[in-house]
A and B are shown apart, each in its own frame.
Chain A
Amino acid sequence: MYQLSAIELRDAFLKGKYSAVEIVKYYLNRISTYDNQIGAFLQVYEEKALQQAEKLDKKKQNNEKLGKLAGIPFAIKDNILIADELTTCASRFLTNYRAPYNATAIKLLLEEDAILIGKTNMDEFAMGSSTENSALQKTHNPWNLKCTPGGSSGGSAAAVAGRLCPIALGSDTGGSTRQPASFCGVVGYKPTYGRVSRYGLVAFGSSLDQIGPLAISSADVALVMEVIGRNCPHDSTSIQSGPEEYLSDFKPSMQGLKIGVPWKFLKKLADEPKKAFESGIEKAKALGAEIVEVDLDILNSSVAVYYILATAEASTNLARFDGIRYGQRSTRAHNLDEVYDFSKEEGFGPEVKRRILLGTYVLSAGYQDAYYRKAQKVRTLIIKSYQKAFSQCDLIATPVTPFAAFEIGSIKDPLQMYLEDIYSIGINLAGLPAVSFPNQLTQEGKKPLGFQLIGPQMQDRLVLNMAHILEKELPFNYAIPELVKEKTHD
């Protein structure tokens, strides 16, 4: 069963091959078998998922109409609110926070009969690229347990890669679904800004955040996007459009598609990732795509711009975690200032503190012009550069990361860690849809390398459509890590 994609699993359920209870029990069993090594889950909803499955089986028996996601177990990144459940954001600070409402994305999943199986680990408040910043546990890459799964949606990526569930939700502020997807050999998606409601997603960088699915295939991602990609009255930045059909409108081929590649910007890429990327481009050509060169040199500034804007927004978004209303209050505090000081000191990890300080600094009087305002201007230039590029092509292709998964503890310098995001964060700054899907494994260490397709705003369907065509032809071919393969016959 673990080899099935979400769509295959749902169809098997609809055809009566498996009951929902069988599916849930199966995946709960896999979680208990493998997650002690992987560490993807922070919480597993054993009882609740089984109850949901029982209800669904009854619904099916009664011949009631079943949702688009019927019987599919979902893992949810722990910064997305599920009513009555803990939402920790993998922070020590929020270990006591129980969500009073469902995020819009969760509500939509449940309406289509998805089964919520648990919450996944992440970098604290989604700040990081390795999930090492989780204050709660380490998550390991199922392809190589010494390696990180990437981040910040590392738990979601590892859970799907380990086939502990066929699909998961993550969030992407600067690459946080795509980079871990690339590290773990799964598909990770960042929708057009405003496509998926942010209501109920704990905010990091509000103008950059998007919830996105991580899955085995682009088709599975498309299925989830059909459900969660719609206007939400609780999110003012939500796109004013109804739900879209993706899968039924997929074109069958890449013929005539123009793909832009910013070769100059990719010059510094190391040999192996470069060769892998080039062979992916060759494959696209073979499938009928035309390759053109586009100029995106401005993206060399994107990391700097991102770490100013995202931290500025984060410094205010996280201000509410102060030990008064939200967050564990320090027991050492005897007055108001101490409640603020000690609670934050005890509650936040070093990376979160670093980013709050940085964000506060770039917004401060006397520095705002030099940092925040200037970064906003460069952001506008980045948006314009993408617009210009898209006047010459339909999609843009780049790698997802400069390297494959790195070992846990190997990157100590935060700036070097930030540079991991060089190929992913320009997309958030411009609000574009982008998908990361597995290309091939590295020669040494057999670690996945991803391939990224980027579209103009609103072209979510085209992006997933072309990824769906290309991913099937790439050498990775939906490979599963040895660690989690079942030795007996499935």
Chain B
Amino acid sequence: MTNKHNHPSHDNWEAVIGLEIHVELNTKSKLFSSAPNHFGDEPNRNITEVCTGQPGALPVLNKEAVRKAVQFGCAIQAEIAKFSKFDRKSYFYPDSPRNFQITQYDYPIVKGGTVIAEVDGVEMSFAVNRAHLEDDAGMLKHFSTFAGVDYNRAGCPLIEIVSEPCIHTAREAVAYATAVKAILQYIDVSDCNMEEGSLRVDTNISVRPKGEKGLRNKIEIKNMNSFSYMEMAIKAEIFRQIEAYEKHPHLPHETVIHHSTYRWDPEKKETVLMRRKESADDYRYFPEPDLVPIVLTDAYIDEIKQGLPELPLERERRYVRDFGLSPHQAFALTSEKRLADYFEIALKGCSNARSLSNWILVEFPGRLKDKGQDVISIGIKPEHLTSLINFIEKGKITGKIAKSVVDDMVANPGKDPSEIISANSDYQPLDDQAEIERMVDSVLASQTQSIVDFKAGRDKAFAFLVGQVMKMCKGKASPQIVNDLLKQKIEKM
């Protein structure tokens, strides 16, 4: 699959990608009604006459949602519109109780903005076109003989974050989306749970030969409920479009790829056509007469700016600067706020930030990823990680033993590593100098050829000798001590 997407002739093409990210805000009530904004309840519990579009019901704007939208705008250094308004967007669908959505058409609340994300170790800057407030639709539920509508989600507040078409690869798209998600979590405006649909990404993709100026017809991909699916979908779609153009080099390009909507099929691992857009949809936007415009003051915007917490980018840079992490490590840690928070708690009373970061980002995920878990979700306390690192740092356990200790920590989350180590004699560090010496002597006595080789300048022979001693002590002796002893003894020989 991956190889297929790296066809050499495809290097002459470039993809142009724009993302529309729909984010459900975590307000207490819905955008225009007092009904609870809550996921996962019995169908049609969280509704009022406004959510179901009862005749005569009128929308009243939720100020908390406005605040959260402005927080996001401030976090991406966007212009906050002092005047914005709502519009009706008309389309017929059974999950839309009024058959129009209330959204912001020509005067969005957030204009412009920049999101900085790390792509393959390099910081890249992505331009945001706008972010606007709108209400969500209900959900259709299909049963064997009929379909029903659950209006619990109808009227939940969304911000739609529209990027400029400034993204060119699947990895960039994922990095941008990851950074947006991180910002939203840091400022606590959304749960960003892709599986529950509180963060949904629509991707617009077109390709063109490198150097071509205009944009070709674009494809919209919907329903990608994870970033890894998104990455696969974008790669597959770019490949499909390039193949199509290369197969028909003489056809006018607008007849090769048509404006259409696709969805990602994770089973087939390909994009599947949903519908072709024959003509541009006519949503008949016009100003929502039931709502007054949103008018914001400088004081209000400044107060929100001042109140912003540390944002992921600042945190990432601080990790590189203060803890000496690599930009990649820092981005990976800070992209998940809870992971970064966990890291900082564990870092208290622990001297090696890079080692700590490595255990969090590499060792634990390696053991847990397949189970869909991580170090936090299985309940390993950050203090236990601190203590593990300190055992290693102080040379009380070797790296090899540490890995076994971590195996045990994963098997028994909540158990203190010091308990695990003291309860297992195999994990006890071997600090009896005489015992180690005996082992070194025994190895030297049986491996005379290696001594000769080492003296002849072959370093590998020495490493072999160290390995033999470590094997004999079951990895419990400090490799440093073994090293020193071996050198001393060989020199004397």
Interfacial residues of chain A within 65-111, with CB under 8 A of chain B in the complex: 80-81, 87, 89, 94, 97, 99-101, 103
Partner of A340, one of B53, B92, B290: B92
- The distance from the CB of B44 to the nearest CB of chain A, in whole angstroms, is 11
Complex alpha-carbon distance, A325 and B95, angstroms = 10
Report if B98 contacts A (CB, 8 A).
Answer: yes
Complex alpha-carbon distance, A325 and B49, angstroms = 12
Contacts A319-B92, A320-B98 given; indicate if A237 touches B60 (C-beta within 8 A).
no
Complex alpha-carbon distance, A180 and B90, angstroms = 33
Docked-complex contact A322 and B99, CB < 8 angstroms: yes
- The distance from the CB of A395 to the nearest CB of chain B, in whole angstroms, is 27
- The distance from the CB of B360 to the nearest CB of chain A, in whole angstroms, is 48
- The distance from the CB of B52 to the nearest CB of chain A, in whole angstroms, is 7
Report if A229 contacts B (CB, 8 A).
Answer: no
Contacts A101-B49, A199-B57, A365-B280 given; indicate if A325 touches B289 (C-beta within 8 A).
no
Complex alpha-carbon distance, A83 and B299, angstroms = 43
Docked-complex contact A199 and B58, CB < 8 angstroms: yes
Contacts A319-B98, A320-B98 given; indicate if A364 touches B282 (C-beta within 8 A).
yes
Q: Which residues of A contact B100 (CB under 8 A)?
A: 316, 319
Complex alpha-carbon distance, A198 and B59, angstroms = 11
- The distance from the CB of A45 to the nearest CB of chain B, in whole angstroms, is 19
Q: Which residues of A contact B282 (CB under 8 A)?
A: 364-365
Partner of B289, one of A103, A199, A313: A313
Complex alpha-carbon distance, A364 and B97, angstroms = 21
Q: Which residues of B contact A56 (CB under 8 A)?
A: none
Partner of B286, one of A80, A103, A368: A368
How many residues belonging to A are interface residues under a CB distance threshold of 8 Å?
A: 42
Complex alpha-carbon distance, A456 and B123, angstroms = 60
Partner of A237, one of B49, B90, B290: B290
Q: Which residue of A lies closest to B99 (CB)?
A: A319
Report if B54 contacts A (CB, 8 A).
Answer: yes
- The distance from the CB of A161 to the nearest CB of chain B, in whole angstroms, is 27
> What range describes how many residues of B lie at the interface?
20 to 34
Docked-complex contact B56 and A325, CB < 8 angstroms: no
Complex alpha-carbon distance, A120 and B416, angstroms = 77
Complex alpha-carbon distance, A260 and B100, angstroms = 42
Partner of A236, one of B55, B98, B286, B291: B291
Q: Is the interface of A mostly helix, strand, loop or mixed?
A: loop
Q: Which residue of A lies closest to B291 (CB)?
A: A236
Docked-complex contact A320 and B289, CB < 8 angstroms: no
Q: Is the interface of B mostly helix, strand, loop or mixed?
A: loop
Docked-complex contact B92 and A236, CB < 8 angstroms: no
Complex alpha-carbon distance, A234 and B88, angstroms = 19
Q: Which residue of A lies closest to B284 (CB)?
A: A363
Contacts A101-B54, A340-B92 given; indicate if A236 touches B97 (C-beta within 8 A).
no
> Of the 9-residue stretches A4-12, A144-152, A200-208, which lies at the interface with chain B?
A200-208
Contacts A206-B289, A363-B284 given; indicate if A336 touches B94 (C-beta within 8 A).
yes
Q: Which residues of A contact B280 (CB under 8 A)?
A: 365
Partner of B54, one of A80, A100, A324, A365: A100
Complex alpha-carbon distance, A198 and B291, angstroms = 12
Q: Which residue of A lies closest to B90 (CB)?
A: A316
Contacts A236-B291, A364-B282 given; indicate if A81 touches B55 (C-beta within 8 A).
yes
Instruction: Point out residues on A near B: beta carbons under 8 Å.
Output: 80-81, 87, 89, 94, 97, 99-101, 103, 198-203, 205-207, 233-237, 312-313, 315-316, 319-320, 322, 324-326, 336, 340, 360, 363-365, 368, 372
Given A200-B57, A235-B58, 11 extra CB contacts under 8 A? A81-B55, A94-B55, A97-B55, A198-B58, A201-B56, A234-B58, A235-B290, A319-B92, A319-B100, A325-B97, A364-B284
22 pairs from A and B in contact (CB 8 Å cutoff): A81-B56, A97-B55, A99-B55, A100-B54, A101-B49, A101-B54, A199-B58, A200-B56, A203-B55, A205-B289, A207-B289, A234-B58, A235-B58, A236-B61, A236-B290, A237-B292, A316-B90, A316-B286, A320-B97, A322-B99, A325-B53, A372-B286
Instruction: Point out residues on B near A: beta carbons under 8 Å.
Output: 49, 52-61, 88, 90, 92, 94, 97-100, 149, 280, 282, 284-286, 289-292
